[in-house]
A and B are shown apart, each in its own frame.
Chain A
């Protein structure tokens, strides 16, 4: 009982409060910096009108201040930075990927519907091929902006968005040939035009009809000093949300997949992104073009990840055992040399191996295969072997390191007891060394599996996923899921499909998550050896 009261009376370190001291001053300074940065970010978000970011920033800042200045939440001060990292780098990224997976965001569906409308109007408005380039000035009358041009006859004509061009007498021309004074109008100086963004937007949107007949087109200016006649045939109807082509009468209606489609199936080039539900997920398994190759890729991904872990673990362990024997001389030097492949950047190694495996000029065929032209990277089976080999070369030093450490930590008395009991070398390895080793290395093997499951670098740098499958998937025999996703996303080509790529990423994430969780459960069984 006495002990109990003693514990209760001692406050935990985290809740300790000894008034204002140096520690508090340091905290105050640091929090001032945090608040300054936070407020700056909030202001930046305000200026950029990103309300989600603004809200998230404000919430984070409020939580940070709350945690570090209130007494009740003090224990959280150790957790908050980690939690914030988790939220920003894991939860947010995953959430955003999940969001994109349910949209058709990609080439042709990059912006909002409003921007697609704008783009369609831009793409449709064409310069009249017969129109000369007119010298032009920006003019103003009763607060309404207008354009004044000098036509082919040398007459100055002016108009606004609501009134077509009319000839104005008595105007004078400046040195550039553009109107300098226009009676009844105020000429807006060009310096004002070019330095005022709001005015620019107004002028860029200004169209002055050539005559009362809309067929004649209207004058617009691109840079504020010349103008030309432009015509457009598409008309946007805000009410019905449709485009009508005045020339052909075709009506383009918004479709469910975010494009303007006409009854005959033709569509305007620019679309916008919309939610598509589970379409991307369904497509990955039902699209005949993708489904077959993706199945092969999935199988190979598992084979690649599992074989890499097994082979590199086995080789690393073998070397670790050999070089752990006290009879080996110069162990330290040899061990250091052994780790060299680990010290090279993986992508450089992959590129070097790519050159060495070249069937005609590569050193591998020349030195080890009597100059036979074995096409290591051009044959589906050989390419898989080559990828496994290079990855083994790259990753065994890691296992060598890990296993050496684990071997040295094995309890000597247990091994000695086994020897006294009459266990042979193999028996000791099977029954004592390996199980004890696995206690510490199995979790690393699982993370190594997860890493190799997504080992984009080696595939991309060594084989580029090739040789390609026959058919139009764009995938190849050595593609693993992550390089297949990169290929499908089309970032390197022209037609990106981020929605589908995100959907596949989510699937890969779930697969790795489930496998890792199951495997970690299994490793618990190993701990009974200890």
Chain B
């Protein structure tokens, strides 16, 4: 409704400008770009971002020939998809299908804009962690297609290709190699980056939320207690007041520059950063080392395709999702268009012949899905801020427990 109003207003305004000023004929075209499909012809509108558009188009072509329906792809910025989807689906102007990240799921469910999907027997083709991530309150809401996670990336020429098992091993091997600093850990500058740090945090046994038996996150904060404080203490010891290995001066670009220029042999980054390491000829990727004794479990992000709850072509959309986008060929095309770790098991195995991807896959297998509850937005703010303060030298135990109790108050 809002966009329509704005849009119609734009038309009206340009019309009046035309009349009033007799100016140039430069007006917006009179057509709504993402018409939901009030027509009787079956049409699927799919929102996608630039990277994936081509691969979806390939799957859509076969689908169009088989069913006689039309598939219209609308390209949008990935960051805009969630809010636009929530805003437009209730007005009937939304798409039938959208690409999205799994951590939007809580917000999408509470907004009531997504439909459940049924993969039937095809469910076993996908990595369990991917399906788990796309599940909310026991129901599957999206067709997963890719996984992404951070892993330990190391400069083979400096420290060899063996992944250190613990933080101390890492520091030792970097010292042996004579590196300026043992590791670069992105803290997003003064903003804080609990996401990158999460693998190290979980190695102290302090998950953000307690998971129930089915693996779904509860809203019970799991970061408090002795384990959480041990992590906070460790962070403090490695921060400005301690060894200085972890510093809030490191943001994404500086992090990548430090690693790329060989000033540090290790960094924790995701596959998206690999293109920034062009000057490092030999790179090995492996699981994040443990700092607190337990295995490091980084967050795994899953991307997939959501189905609108207001779709007028629900059958067609399900058919397209499950039987066309859910096939190995389509998933391979998506991988080739935008190489991320495939959620399709056999494909993941296939692409693991590349040692770098194999390293990310190995890291993701230790990982846990990022919580998708809608409260996560406020969790990040408090969590990042507390980590930045502790790295900067604030008292670890009190800062951390204050953050945990603030969080508990926030979540009610």
Decide: A378 near B248, CB < 8 A? Known: A96-B5, A111-B112.
Answer: yes
Indicate if B288 sits at the interface (CB-CB under 8 A): no
Complex contact A474–B381 (CB within 8 A): yes
Q: Does A493 contact B (CB under 8 A)?
A: yes
| B-chain residues with CB within 8 Å of residue A222 when the two chains form the complex | 117-118, 314-315, 318, 322
Q: How far is the CB of A170 from chain B (nearest CB, A)?
A: 28
Interface 9-mer from A76-84, A404-412, A518-526: A76-84
With contact pairs A354-B189, A358-B254 given, residues A107 and B374 touching in the complex (Cβ less than 8 Å): yes
B110, A107: Cβ atoms closer than 8 Å:
yes
A-facing residues in B299-333 (Cβ within 8 Å): 309-310, 312-316, 318-319, 322-323
Q: Contact: A495 with B69, CB < 8 Å?
A: no
CB contacts (< 8 Å) of B385 on chain A: these are 466-468, 476
Q: Residues 476-497 of chain A: 1 if any B CB is under 8 Å from the residue's CB, otherwise 0?
A: 1000000000010011111110
In the complex formed, the residue of B with least CB distance to A77 is B20
Q: By the criterion CB–CB under 8 Å, are A270 and B112 in contact?
A: yes
Asked if B247 is at the interface (CB within 8 A of a chain A CB), the reply is yes
Known: A96-B5, A495-B107. A118 touches B112 (CB 8 A): yes
Is the CB–CB distance between B30 and A107 below 8 Å? no
Q: Of B35-43, B146-154, B229-237, B357-365, which stretch is located at the interface?
A: B35-43
Interface-side segment among A38-46, A152-160, A209-217, A245-253: A38-46
Contact A37 B14 (CB under 8 A): yes
Residue among B67, B189, B373, B378 making CB contact with A194, cutoff 8 Å: B67
A194 in contact with B374 given A44-B8, A270-B109 (CB within 8 Å): no
Query: Is there contact, CB below 8 Å, between B13 and A89?
Result: yes
A88 within 8 A of B: yes
Contact with A along B350-393 (1 / 0, CB 8 A): 00000000000000000000000111111011101100110010
B46 in the interface (beta carbon within 8 A): no
Interface residues of B in 112-132 (CB under 8 A from A): 112-113, 115-118, 120-121
Question: CB distance B90 to A115 under 8 Å?
Answer: yes
Query: Cβ of B19 and Cβ of A34 under 8 Å apart?
Result: yes
Name the A residues within 8 Å of B191 (CB-CB).
Answer: 464, 466
**Majority SS of interface residues in chain B?**
helix
Complex alpha-carbon distance, A63 and B315, angstroms: 46
User: Does A40 lie within 8 Å of B11, measured CB to CB?
Assistant: yes
Interface residues in B1-53 by Cβ distance below 8 A to A read: 1-2, 4-5, 8-22, 25, 27, 30-32, 37-42
A286: chain B residues at CB < 8 Å are none
Residues 396-411 of B, flagged 1 when their CB comes within 8 A of A and 0 if not, give 0000001000110110
B218 within 8 A of A: no
Known: A115-B310, A223-B318. A81 touches B17 (CB 8 A): yes
B15 close to A37 (CB less than 8 A): yes
Interface hits, A449-469 → B, CB 8 Å: 463-464, 466-468
Report A119-148 CB contacts with B as 1/0, cut-off 8 Å.
110110111000001000000000000000
Residue of B with least CB distance to A42: B8
Q: Is A6 an interface residue (CB 8 A)?
A: no
| A68 at the B interface (CB under 8 A) | yes
- Tell me, rounded to whole Å, the shortest Cβ–Cβ distance linking A261 to chain B: 14
Q: Which chain B residues in 52-107 approach chain A with CB under 8 Å?
A: 67-69, 83, 86-87, 89-90, 92-93, 103-104, 106-107
Cross-interface CB contact of B111 among A88, A111, A133, cutoff 8 Å: A111
Instruction: State how many angstroms separate the Cβ of A244 from the closest Cβ of chain B.
Output: 19
Closest to B249 in A: A360
* Contact between B18 and A198, CB atoms less than 8 A apart: no
Q: Which chain B positions have C-beta within 8 A of A490? A: 377-378
B281: Cβ under 8 A from any A Cβ: no
Decide yes or no: A495 and B315 within 8 Å by CB, A84-B12, A110-B112 being known contacts.
no
Q: For residue A466, which residue of chain B has the nearest CB?
A: B190
Bound state CA distance, A360 and B115, in angstroms? 49
Nearest residue (CB) in B for A117 is: B112
Contacting residue for A472 out of B254, B314, B322, B378, CB 8 A: B378
Is A33 interfacial (CB 8 A cutoff)? yes
Pick from A68, A111, A463, A494: contact of B106, CB under 8 Å = A494
- Which chain A residues lie closer than 8 Å to B39 at the CB level? 197
Q: Which residue of B lies closest to A491 (CB)?
A: B83
B12 and A57 contact, CB distance less than 8 A:
yes
Give the residue of B68, B116, B373, B375 whose beta carbon is less than 8 angstroms from that of A195. Answer: B68
Instruction: State in angstroms the CA–CA spacing of A351 and B280 once bound together.
Output: 27
- B249 lies within 8 A of A359 (CB): yes
Task: List A contacts of B382 (CB < 8 A).
Answer: 472, 474
Most buried by B among A68, A85, A110, A196: A110
Q: Is B315 in contact with A194, judged by CB distance below 8 angstroms?
A: yes
Q: Which positions 125-165 of chain B face chain A at CB distance < 8 Å?
A: 137-139
- Give the distance to chain B from A167, nearest Cβ to Cβ, in Å: 23
Chain A residue nearest to B405 (CB atoms) is: A472
Indicate whether A223 sits within 8 Å of B190 (C-beta atoms), given known contacts A116-B112, A123-B137, A271-B110.
no
Q: How far is the CA of A85 from the CA of B10 in the complex (A)?
A: 9
Q: What separation, in Å, do the CA atoms of A5 and B314 have in the docked complex?
A: 76
Which chain B positions have C-beta within 8 A of A375?
248, 392
Closest A residue to B118 using CB positions: A222
Residues of B within 8 A of A89 (CB): 9, 13
> Which residues of B sit under 8 angstroms from A491, Cβ to Cβ?
83
**Cβ–Cβ < 8 Å partners of A122 in chain B:** 112, 115-116, 309
B309 pairs with A118, CB closer than 8 A: yes
In the assembled complex, A193 has its CB within 8 A of some CB on chain B: yes
Please state if A223 and B319 are interface contacts (CB–CB under 8 Å).
Answer: yes
Partner of B313, one of A88, A197, A272: A197
- Residue in chain B with minimal CB distance to A220: B118
B residues near A115, Cβ cutoff 8 Å: 90, 112, 309-310
Could you jot down 6 A-B contacts, CB within 8 Å? A33-B15, A37-B18, A38-B11, A115-B112, A123-B116, A194-B69
- 3 shortest interchain CB distances as A-B pairs: A493-B377, A81-B20, A119-B112
Additional A-B contacts beyond A80-B20, A191-B68, A194-B69 (4; CB < 8 A): A92-B9, A110-B90, A361-B249, A467-B385
